[in-house]
Amino acid sequence: MQIWLGLPVAMAGATVLFAQGGGGSGNPVRVALVKMPYVGERNSAERSGGPEYLEQGGILSQLEGLGCQTKPPSTVVLTPDEQKAYGEWNRLSLANGGLARLIAAERRGGYLPIGLLANCSALTGMLSGLQHSGGAARPLRVGLVFIDAHADYNTPETTLSGMLGGMPVAIAAGLCLTNLRLKAGLDPPLPQRHIVEAGVRDTDPLEQDLLDRSEIRQLTVADIRARSDNLHREMKRLSESTDAIYIHVDMDVLDPREVPGHPLTVPGGPTSAELAAALTEMFRYEKAAALGIASTPYGDHDKGGVSRQAAYNLILGAVSGVKQRDGGR
């Protein structure tokens, strides 16, 4: 029996019940929230309260109100030995390995995993979890729809800020920081043709050059607002070329009025209602296998709870899409 990140591969044959929930089957959508509080940025708190803040606002009751079956959320926690490991980036990669184990286990158990993520550096953990959630010994082919005002396709050679949070898509694609990706269990890296970015409107010059020379597809804010043919074309393409699709949202993609406490907002984003409607369309596709919500402002940075409600709109929109599945896509 092979072992991946501490999980027996032979356990991977469970039916993915959530993919059949709603639609004609009558089965409830089973939803599992997974909290990832580790941020991995130097000169900042290593854990974020954002994931806890998202859970505490009543999202479970709202999901149950939609007819979903829920369970107590799980949280990524480093072991005592991992907490002693040197380097915040290193500890983040260890935490992403733990996140991957949780995501894989939830999907094998028939749940739709929804990651409540401190920031976009949890991307490799979410992708790794899906990659190793199938019933075969080989890793699944995973597609990525990355919805963010920023491309997050920088490398240490192209970045202007030096932020690790600006590199996760490049890491997932195998362009840089290989050890961080491998410790998260993401192997092989994602082919560029299996990546779609949406809503991007702020890039660094050398980052944009990398994107221009890549096979990554782009969807505009207009595509999101209109739920355009381009959006459906890319979802169909990923559905035909991959085994599972991860849809990741950084909250800074939204209209800044809905994330006023976010430090990296960019004008011109969709409202949460517009993006929620697009997520409903995306999650009608059977291959859409997990959702991640990253970088939600919390505490004093979210006065009145406007950002948390925006995040809830996105989560409920995605789950509504799963409920509408009819097997026709």
Q: Which domains are present in the chain?
A: 11-323 (3.40.800.10)
pLDDT at residue 19 greater than cutoff 70: no
Give pLDDT, residue 43: 57
Write out pLDDT tens, residues 144-165: 999 999 999 999 999 999 999 9
What's the pLDDT band for 254 if we cut at 50, 70, 90?
very high
Write out pLDDT tens, residues 156-208: 999 999 999 999 999 999 999 999 999 999 999 999 999 999 999 999 999 99
The percentage of residues in the chain with a pLDDT greater than 90, rounded to a whole number, is 86
pTM to 2 decimal places: 0.92
pLDDT at residue 11 greater than cutoff 70: no
Write out pLDDT tens, residues 260-279: 999 999 999 999 999 999 99
Give pLDDT, residue 26: 67
What's the pLDDT band for 86 if we cut at 50, 70, 90?
very high
pLDDT at residue 1 greater than cutoff 50: no
Count Cα neighbours of 20 within 13 Å in the Cβ-side half-sphere. 7
Pair of tokens at residue 296: 């939600």
Give pLDDT, residue 59: 97
